[in-house]
Amino acid sequence: MNDNHALDASSASLFFLFGSVMEILPSLFPGWFPRTGLDGSNSQALWLHVMGGVQAAIAIAYFGRQVVFPHTARLAHTIGTIHGRESTTLLNGAHGAKAG
């Protein structure tokens, strides 16, 4: 059994899927969520919207960190190599200028 509790791609995909379903469930089945609040809202529907958004945001943050940032760094390295700059100056935002 794997004791590593880190988020992986399959878990992040399920987070996004379940979060999306949680967010759209009250819109698809409004009869399940009667408007019992003073303002005509339903606390269960509000909870599903908020928690669905949180779960989807966790998945989006994971994919951003694991997929988007490495590709952006690789692209910056490639562009830096083409233009004769070191990739570290591009990634640090120095754009070829020496610090000091």
Q: At what angle do helices 43-63 and 9-28 cross, to 10 degrees?
A: 150
Q: Is residue 28 part of a domain?
A: yes
Q: 52 in a domain, yes or no? A: yes
Residue 16 pLDDT > 80: yes
14 inside domain = yes
pLDDT tens digits, 19-76 = 999 999 998 998 988 888 888 888 899 999 999 999 999 999 988 888 777 777 777 7
Q: What is the 3-state secondary structure (H, E, C) of 55-86?
A: HHHHHHHHHHHHHHHHHHHHHHHHHHHHCCCC
How many domains are there within the chain?
1
CB atoms within 10 A of CB 16: 19
* Residue 1: inside a domain: no
Query: pTM for this structure?
Result: 0.61
Q: In this model, does residue 86 exceed pLDDT 90?
A: no
Q: Is residue 65 part of a domain?
A: yes
Domain that holds residue 85: 9-92
Average pLDDT over residues 73-93: 63
